[in-house]
């Protein structure tokens, strides 16, 4: 009985078009829902801290992959009965499914003799804070003129430059297949691959502002925006208050000066939001995911409902997503009581 090993140099990657096709087929087979390729010149002029070439100076191509969150995984949070699942599935995508897929794809490329850097959607060591600013006294450049470790490639911009969709007003990436219920993984490679056009499909975000109205934390600004110019295209989305978002995803409303930990012995120092049915801080769930109690009420659910109602998404369902009025919890009496007409 012979030992089985991987088949090195099984593919001829000297033709960028055929190599791109083989890689895309593998990416889908490994678990990506859509895959596109951007040539590295599209990153010309981006901030040093987000430039893929700071990770791989010889990078020629970026492979972008979109991974969906199943609509059914948002169902139980929409019904208000099973929050753990939504959080766990996001965590599993971040910590397990995307890293496995991008790693498998990197091994496929390296089998043919080209280096590939798998880059999942988790970057805990970033030198940038949630608002994209350098963290003070966090790290130093290892070489003069280099970015500070760790570089954080903007995944939304990467997915846009790989032709996979657009960035919505909410700041979330929108896929023409699934709208906002996606996460992104990328790979950097020194292999030259045929690039796809930057996304030029039907416009997805129509500035309906449903995300702004439904965001429980009031995190998505209705007027203040962020503008970025990449590959000759001007992108604009709302300024999003990430600190407020972190609170909202934990179901709390701050009523005092922000502190690092808004809880004391599991009890919030601050108010509970009417979008959270939990009396105490829920335990963290699998894969280190955050509680995600808001369930993307604005930037995922309201946006998805808006996009689906306009028929612009390719993943179509027989029944609409929102089947009952939205619920809220009244915490004014201490124990909380449910609202939401049946
Ligand atoms: S909810 Fe409307 S405005 Fe907000 S990102 Fe989605 S489509 Fe754009
Ligand atoms: S995750 Fe929730 S709180 Fe944060 S921006 Fe989206 S809807 Fe708002």
pLDDT tens digit string along 85-97?
A: 888 888 899 989 9
Domain residue ranges of the chain, discontinuous segments joined by +: 16-137+145-313
Residue 302 CA, closest ligand 2 atom number: 7
The CA 307 to ligand 1 mean position distance, Å, reads 8
For residue 221, pLDDT over 70 is answered with yes
Instruction: Report the percent of the chain where pLDDT is more than 70.
Output: 94
Chain centroid, CA 152 distance in Å: 13
Ligand 1 pocket, Cβ-based, cut-off 6 angstroms: 168-170, 205-211, 302-303, 306-307
pLDDT for residue 260: 64
Nearest to 301 by CA among 204, 178, 154: 178
Output the average pLDDT for the chain: 92
At 168 the pLDDT is 98
Ligand sitting nearest the alpha carbon of 173: 1
Q: What is the rounded average pLDDT of the residues 93-116? A: 95
Tens digits of residue pLDDT in 278-327: 988 777 667 777 788 999 999 999 999 999 999 999 999 999 999 999 99
Q: Is the pTM of this model over 0.85?
A: yes
First vs last Cα of the chain: how many Å apart? Answer: 65
Whether residue 298 has its Cβ less than 6 Å from ligand 2? yes
Give 242-309 as a DSSP string.
Answer: HHHHHHHHTTEE--SS--S--EETTEESSEEPTT---SSPPPP-GGG----TTTTIIIIIIHHHHHHH
Peptide bond into 46 cis (omega under 30): no
Distance (angstroms) between ligand 2 centre and the Cα of 188 equals 30
pLDDT value of residue 232: 95
Q: What percent of the chain has pLDDT over 90?
A: 73
Q: What is the mean pLDDT of residues 94-102?
A: 94
pLDDT reading at 240 higher than 50: yes
Q: Which ligand is nearest to the CA of 304?
A: 1
Confidence band for 277, pLDDT divided at 50, 70 and 90: very high
What's the pLDDT band for 143 if we cut at 50, 70, 90?
A: very high
Going by alpha carbons, the residue nearest to atom 8 of ligand 1 is 205
At 245, list the tokens. 């978002």
Q: Which of 160, 204, 205 to mutate to test the pocket of ligand 1 (most atoms within 8 A of CB)?
A: 205
- Residue 218 alpha carbon, nearest atom of ligand 2: 8
**Measuring CA to CA, which residue among 202, 223, 198, 201 is closest to residue 212?**
223
């Amino acid at each position: 009985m012979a030992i089985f090993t991987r088949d090195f140099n099984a593919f001829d990657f000297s033709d960028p078009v055929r190599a791109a096709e083989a890689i895309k087929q593998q990416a889908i087979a490994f678990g990506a829902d859509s895959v596109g390729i951007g040539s590295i010149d599209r990153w010309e002029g981006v901030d040093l801290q987000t430039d893929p070439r700071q990770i791989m100076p010889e990078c020629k191509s970026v492979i972008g992959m979109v991974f969906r969150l199943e609509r059914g995984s948002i169902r139980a949070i929409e019904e208000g009965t099973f929050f753990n699942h939504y959080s766990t599935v996001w965590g599993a995508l971040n910590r397990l499914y995307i890293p496995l897929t991008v790693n498998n794809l990197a091994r496929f490329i390296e089998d043919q003799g080209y280096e590939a850097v798998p880059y999942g959607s988790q970057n805990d060591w970033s030198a940038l804070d949630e608002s994209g600013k350098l963290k003070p006294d966090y790290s130093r450049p290892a070489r003069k003129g280099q970015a500070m470790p760790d570089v954080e490639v903007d995944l939304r911009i990467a997915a846009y430059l790989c032709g996979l969709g657009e960035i919505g007003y909410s700041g979330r990436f929108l896929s023409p297949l699934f709208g906002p219920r996606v996460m992104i993984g990328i790979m950097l490679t020194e292999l030259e691959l045929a690039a796809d056009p930057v996304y030029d499909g039907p416009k997805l975000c129509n500035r309906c502002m449903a995300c702004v109205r439904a965001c429980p934390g009031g995190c998505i600004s209705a007027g203040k925006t962020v503008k970025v110019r990449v590959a000759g295209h001007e992108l604009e989305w709302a300024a999003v208050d990430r600190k407020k978002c972190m609170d909202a995803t934990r179901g709390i409303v701050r009523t005092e000066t922000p502190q690092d930990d808004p809880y004391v012995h599991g009890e919030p120092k601050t108010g509970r939001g009417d979008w959270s049915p939990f009396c105490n801080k829920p335990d963290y769930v699998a894969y280190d995911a955050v509680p995600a109690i808001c369930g993307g009420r604005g930037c995922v659910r309201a946006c998805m409902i808006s996009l689906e109602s306009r028929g612009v998404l390719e993943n179509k369902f027989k029944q609409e997503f929102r089947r009952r009025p939205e619920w809220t919890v009244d915490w004014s009496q201490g124990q909380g009581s449910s609202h939401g007409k049946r």
